[in-house]
Amino acid sequence: MKRRIVIVLYEGFQLLDMTGPADVFAAATVLTGQDGYQVEVGAAKAGAVPAAHHGIEVVAQAALNEIHGPIDTLLVVGGPTTMTQARDPELTAQVVRLSRVARRTTSVCSGAFVLAAAGLLDGRRATTHWLLTGWLGACYPDVMVEPDAIYTRDGEVWTSAGVSAGMDLALALVADDHGHEVARQVACGLVVYLHRPGGQSQFSMPMSVIRPRSEPLRDLQAFIDANPAEDLSVPALARRAGLSERHFSRVFTEQTGLSPGRYVERSRADTARRLLEVTDHALDRVARESGLGRPETLYRVSAAICAYPPATTAAGSTRRRPDPCTP
């Protein structure tokens, strides 16, 4: 039988928090047929529920108090109104009730506040949108907040970071249910990365670095990120920027917070990580295409920067790391 997914909405929810995971589950169902998913939408009242900002409404098929178990996965979305919604005793009571008959309970983005208000995150690791992690810890001190995770799993309670991270969470759930290969095919069909490990930073490398004030340096930064296998030595970059090596190094470091060499290394590691996640390339090819040269360098840089090294098989073949969601 299909796995029953119940998505909890409320007025002012974030649309992508719902549609992103729903599309992942739908794509997985196309691949797995009767072993796939049946998605239901519930809210305080059945009928149209307005999303935040868009003027778009989604029809809740049933009121939450009309939904009864068993449920495979309960998913609570986030949105700009979550803080207010989390103080609604009826909503939290219904979430607690449904969680008791669900195999696993999950949240996307600020939906973690609803789970926390319901007491479902007490003593558990959890995450939310990076803007809200401090608030989550302050409001609910019994929650062990992971401030920079894409998603977390603590037992059968899963939480994810903001908005698009809901798709990472859904892909992880699919991998947990059906294996890495099905999740990979879903990700390829949706043209998204498969799939960012839960402990990976919420920020990609370019997002986590200060954008230079100087337009030539911004262009150079973009060139580095787009051409990891090029000669990105300080002399070569200084020539491209039209500056002396000493002046270039000083200005680049001042405007990005990283030395040129450190930025290049992190950018190449970010490229290697993406290649490991979305391709079946051998490590020597990943190392070459990411500009890191050799698998030994790839392993060292990945372990130092990405917090997890690429894995090798017992036979020593260079293949991608196993699915991080698999126990």
> What pLDDT does residue 225 have?
83
Do 150 and 235 fall within a single domain? no
Do 39 and 173 fall within a single domain? yes
CATH of the domain at 17: 3.40.50.880
Strands 57-60 and 47-50: antiparallel
Cis peptide before 70 (omega within 30 of 0): yes
Nearest partner of 5 among 89, 111, 76, judged by Cα: 76
Q: What's the token pair of residue 182?
A: 């099905």
Q: In the 8-state DSSP scheme, what is residue 81?
A: T
> What pLDDT does residue 318 have?
39
Per the CB < 8 A criterion, the answer to whether 160 and 169 are in contact is: yes
Residue 196 belongs to some domain of the structure: no
Do 186 and 216 fall within a single domain? no
- pTM of the predicted protein model: 0.66
Q: Interior CA angle at 148 toward 143 and 149, to 5°?
A: 80
Residue 198 belongs to some domain of the structure: no
> What pLDDT does residue 95 have?
98
Helix (H) or strand (E) holding 154: strand 151-154
Q: Position 23: which residue type?
A: D
Do 251 and 323 fall within a single domain? yes
> What pLDDT does residue 272 have?
82
Q: In the 8-state DSSP scheme, what is residue 306?
A: I
- Per DSSP (E only), the strands in 21-175 are 37-43, 47-50, 57-60, 62-63, 71-76, 102-107, 125-126, 144-145, 151-154, 157-160
The residue segments making up the domain with residue 238 are 204-327
Do 104 and 177 fall within a single domain? yes
> What pLDDT does residue 69 have?
86
> What pLDDT does residue 304 have?
56
Please return the burial class of 198, using the count of CB atoms within 10 Å of its CB with bins 0-12, 13-18 and 19+: buried
Specify which residues 277 forms β-bridges with.
none
Residue 199 belongs to some domain of the structure: no
Do 241 and 265 fall within a single domain? yes
> What pLDDT does residue 26 have?
96
Q: How many angstroms separate the CA atoms of 167 and 13, rounded?
A: 16
> What pLDDT does residue 204 have?
52
Per the CB < 8 A criterion, the answer to whether 260 and 253 are in contact is: yes
Strands 3-8 and 37-43: parallel
Please report, to the nearest 10 degrees, the dihedral formed by the alpha carbons of residues 87, 90, 92, 93 taken in order.
140
Final residue of a structural domain among 190, 212, 227: 190
Do 186 and 210 fall within a single domain? no
> What pLDDT does residue 215 have?
85
> What pLDDT does residue 326 have?
31
Do 50 and 141 fall within a single domain? yes
Q: What's the token pair of residue 41?
A: 């939408």
Q: In the 8-state DSSP scheme, what is residue 273?
A: H
Final residue of a structural domain among 190, 222, 256: 190
Q: How many angstroms separate the CA atoms of 101 and 79, rounded?
A: 25
3-state secondary structure of 277: helix
> What pLDDT does residue 131 have?
83
Do 35 and 172 fall within a single domain? yes
Per the CB < 8 A criterion, the answer to whether 248 and 238 are in contact is: yes
Do 246 and 128 fall within a single domain? no
Helix (H) or strand (E) holding 152: strand 151-154
Do 156 and 271 fall within a single domain? no
Residue 195 belongs to some domain of the structure: no
Helix (H) or strand (E) holding 285: helix 283-289
Final residue of a structural domain among 134, 155, 190: 190
Do 143 and 81 fall within a single domain? yes
> What pLDDT does residue 277 have?
57
Residues 6+ apart with CB under 8 A from 217: 241, 251, 252, 255, 256
Q: How many angstroms separate the CA atoms of 50 and 31, rounded?
A: 31
Residue 197 belongs to some domain of the structure: no
Q: In the 8-state DSSP scheme, what is residue 311?
A: P
Q: What is the pLDDT along the chain (327 residues), one digit of tens a residue?
A: 899 999 999 999 999 999 999 999 999 999 999 999 999 999 999 999 999 987 899 999 999 999 998 999 999 999 999 999 999 999 999 999 999 999 999 999 999 999 999 999 999 999 998 888 889 999 999 999 998 788 999 999 999 998 788 999 999 999 999 998 898 889 888 876 554 554 445 545 555 566 788 888 988 988 888 888 999 999 999 999 999 999 999 999 999 888 999 999 888 888 887 677 556 678 888 888 889 888 878 777 665 554 444 444 333 333 333 332 232
CATH of the domain at 285: 1.10.10.60
Q: What total number of domains does the chain contain?
A: 2
